Structure 1
Amino acid sequence: MPETRNIDVLLVEDDPADAGLVRHALRTLGSRFALTHRASLDDALAWLADHGCDVVLLDLSLPDSSGFDTIRRMREAFPAMPLVVLTGHDDEDFAIEAMAAGTQDYLFKGATDGPVLQRAIRYAIARKQLEEKLRHSEQRLLSIVTLAQDAILSVDARHRIVLFNPAAERMFGYAEADVLGRPLDMLIPPRLAAAHRAHVADFVIEGPSSRSMADRNEVVGLARDGREFPVEISISKDLQPDGMLLTAVIRDITERKRFENELRHLATTDPLTGLANRRQFLAAAERELVRVRRYDRPATVLMFDIDHFKRINDTHGHAAGDEALRHVAAVCRDLLRETDIVGRLGGEEFGILLPETDVPSAREAAERLRLALARAEIPRPDGGTLRLTASIGIAACMPGDAGIEQALSRADDALYHAKANGRNRVEVKAPELSAAS
């Protein structure tokens, strides 16, 4: 408190002798303290409502109030007022309990000389100011935690939940009362719980005190209804007197993952047929070629296209041509295995990679595909139907191939021969010819 301004003190004391001792002690300090005296709590509260002061010296034995109830009533009416309790109890425990009830300091009656009283008053004012700053800071923090759109939760050293904000309630489907004191594992799928505990344990003993969302891998959350959802987490640690406190900011990224998957699908899928596009087909085929080299396992590629596709477009229109391409994709999905890789490489040209398949087996699969395409009647947009045939070339993937393009080039040679030999047929590029070339 600046020395240039008087400190207004309200003394609430019903004993004239005790009040006189306080008045005398303050007079010895000069004019820095302005004293007002009230003999009952009701009078004191009324005076404070009209005038206010800097600090209250409060007796706990008043005509209209006694004990800790006096502190309670004063605190309810003026929560920010610095309080110094005057007590006749020469009992340290009683005084400490009075401070725990909401006062900033205490003095024993009869031991209130000027310097002691001055110290208690100034200490009470300073401590209350600090308490108010802390209270406002905590209120701001609570407001941030409460209004945050991301879930915020904290766990203690035993991984028991001690903080669970409203966003976390919405995200996981639990009320705060349902989770406080319970293990964090309840919010993690059981199959992932052990790995998550190990990850958190590593974080506790590592140097950094926090990790941002950008530094973390994705984690899976478990809602109350059993629904699993992807989340992104930022985690921090703080050593408290009773152990480590871990706080996580959690963001549900379900919509973002859906959007990313849509973008990935658009980037890797042919929009007309739903098959892999050329880039995706080549990438998947390259991965399969690596397996062929590593394990010396067979794999075969097929290249095929629709015979006289331009004639379909010219005769029946591009809508009929699009329907023909979609039909080819549907037949491929029906006849081939889930492990087979099918892609539209461009126009009416398609590629197929058959893992774990030698050339004779690939030829059987190609013949089934050729016959299925030739037998089908494909509905046209104008109400009629059309038929089509396909020419297919086959080549084995060789361990010595530098890339999948070599195998595809051989299959393309075989496709050329299929067309030259009359179309609607299957041709094979023999391995020995490939080696010679």
Structure 2
Amino acid sequence: MNSQDPIKILYLEDDIGLARLLVKNMERSGINADIAKNGAIGLQMIAQQEYDVIVTDQQMPAMTGLEVIEELTRHENTPPIIMLTGAGNEKIAVDAMKLGASDYIIKDVDGVYLNLLPSAIRQVIQQRRLIRERQQALLDLQESEERYRTLFNSSHDAILLFIPSGQFVDGNPAAIKLFGCKDHASFLKLTWDAVSPDYQPDGMLSFTRVRELIDLTINEGSQFVELAYRTVDGQVFPALVSLNVTNLRGAKVLQANIREISKQKLTEQILHKQATEDPLTECFNRRHFFSLAVKEIALSESENTTLSVIMFDFDLFKSINDTHGHNVGDIVLMEQTRRIRSILRPSDIFARYGGEEFVILLPKTTLENSHATAERIRKFVEEPIKANETELVSTISFGVASKESQESISIDKLLDRADQALYLAKSRGRNSVAAWNEVTGQAG
């Protein structure tokens, strides 16, 4: 019933005078009451219409109040029942409660019980409402847990539950498979630290990173990050992870939804390689070189450091292609760039500028040191190359230019200086190194 609807009760009483007295008393309290003069009639009336509460006397012809209660409680959705019994018959009241009555009231000769009955009726209605709400809440919770468990078990993403210390307390089949566990029992022996490599890709200790994420999730809410994990046999893999706080059997735990992304990362690496590298020599391409060089120039100016550029060109490379074929020419380019790369520092930026022309940007390097690097490369690449049973020598000419520590210059201007120096090296007979200060006639 709605809490705003009038209350309607059925009173089973064979004493019509008492019954009418009770009805009038109920009306004054805003309660509508019907009368049944015995148990059989009462059961018929209950079968035909709905009542909020049944009030029954014990002593009635043909069928006692206890027998009425016993019959009613065999059926579902029976309304609350209040037993009225005389003083000294407390055992009947106890038996009524055992059979399923919601309450009982002892009738007294002064009729005080009539004043107690309205509040008792409202109380049992409220109790019944609370019981039903609790039952519905439990049903909803059970359905919710069943839906969650279905999604949990069928999810293609790994889902694991763990306590703040990092100990796993549950995991779905996808999680057990992802980490290479034999079964659920072996999975529950794991901790977050056990499935993390020593370091994350950003260089942070996994232990530190995990503790940081757990604290952020607990204090600030859901977190979405990329982490590296490790299977039980030591295989490291990347994953996207969603972390949040949830409930497990009344206790707060952390839930991690984990999606392994090795294939996506490989695809990203391939696409990045295609976008930034020359496919033949695996040097950076011209476009990527400029994007990196602009940043290095800006950094050099902000830190007041030197920076150098070496531009070089393969001598008489067209004759190699014409004489031995383009396949041999490609082998020469690949071998010579491999040799050059072995000399350079990790911070140096090596790129194919176009055709057989290449460029190297050397951060924090003076003109003198970059000239020395170019000379080392020149001598190293003079070594013969074996290509398709053909042994040949390929020489290179170099132009070197530098940005002084206090100088402000664009990458285009710096490359132009190196190109002029390269032209000077070519004009000297090739296989040589020339610097920009030689072009201008300035002292080195």
TM-score normalized by structure 2? 0.64
Q: Using the TM superposition, give the Cα deviation of residue 268 of structure 1 relative to its aligned residue in structure 2, in angstroms.
A: 1.2
Residues 278-317 of structure 1 mapped to structure 2, 5 A cutoff: 278-317=286-325
- SS of 1:225 mapped into structure 2: coil
For 1:124 and 1:358, the matched residues in 2 are separated by 85
Residues 167-316 of structure 1 mapped to structure 2, 5 A cutoff: 167-174=174-181, 175-180=183-188, 183-189=191-197, 191-206=205-220, 209-211=221-223, 216-238=224-246, 244-316=252-324
> 2:381–2:395: 8 Å Cα contact kept in structure 1?
yes
RMSD of the TM alignment (CA)?
A: 4.0
> 1:238–1:244: 8 Å Cα contact kept in structure 2?
yes
> 1:157–1:243: 8 Å Cα contact kept in structure 2?
no
Match of 2:430 in 1: 423
Runs of 4+, deviation exceeding 6 Å: 24-27, 112-115, 117-130
Match of 2:87 in 1: none
- Residue 154, structure 1, aligned to residue 168, structure 2: no
Q: Using the TM superposition, give the Cα deviation of residue 327 of structure 1 relative to its aligned residue in structure 2, in angstroms.
A: 2.2
Match of 2:340 in 1: 332
- SS of 2:43 mapped into structure 1: coil
Instruction: Structure 2: state its 5+ residue gaps.
Output: 2-37, 49-71, 78-92, 104-123, 199-204
Q: Using the TM superposition, give the Cα deviation of residue 224 of structure 1 relative to its aligned residue in structure 2, in angstroms.
A: 1.9
> 2:308–2:363: 8 Å Cα contact kept in structure 1?
yes
Q: Aligned residues, how many?
A: 341
Match of 1:93 in 2: none
In our comparison, the structure showing a higher alpha carbon Rg is 2
- SS of 1:271 mapped into structure 2: coil
Letter in 1 for 2:274: L
Letter in 1 for 2:278: D
For 1:431 and 1:200, the matched residues in 2 are separated by 61
> 1:157–1:244: 8 Å Cα contact kept in structure 2?
no
Q: Using the TM superposition, give the Cα deviation of residue 189 of structure 1 relative to its aligned residue in structure 2, in angstroms.
A: 3.8
Q: Using the TM superposition, give the Cα deviation of residue 322 of structure 1 relative to its aligned residue in structure 2, in angstroms.
A: 1.5
Q: Using the TM superposition, give the Cα deviation of residue 345 of structure 1 relative to its aligned residue in structure 2, in angstroms.
A: 0.9
2:395 corresponds, among 389, 393, 402, to 389
Identity %: 32
For 1:27 and 1:235, the matched residues in 2 are separated by 63
For 1:321 and 1:189, the matched residues in 2 are separated by 44
Q: Using the TM superposition, give the Cα deviation of residue 121 of structure 1 relative to its aligned residue in structure 2, in angstroms.
A: 11
Letter in 2 for 1:150: D
> 1:29–1:114: 8 Å Cα contact kept in structure 2?
no
Q: Using the TM superposition, give the Cα deviation of residue 267 of structure 1 relative to its aligned residue in structure 2, in angstroms.
A: 1.2
For 2:366 and 2:216, the matched residues in 1 are separated by 48
Distance 1:373 1:111, change over 3 A: closer
Q: Using the TM superposition, give the Cα deviation of residue 376 of structure 1 relative to its aligned residue in structure 2, in angstroms.
A: 1.6
> 2:193–2:206: 8 Å Cα contact kept in structure 1?
no
- SS of 1:199 mapped into structure 2: helix
Distance 1:158 1:115, change over 3 A: same
Distance 1:197 1:57, change over 3 A: farther
Q: Using the TM superposition, give the Cα deviation of residue 273 of structure 1 relative to its aligned residue in structure 2, in angstroms.
A: 0.7
For 2:214 and 2:40, the matched residues in 1 are separated by 59
Distance 1:132 1:31, change over 3 A: farther
2:327 corresponds, among 312, 319, 332, to 319
1:344 corresponds, among 352, 357, 360, to 352
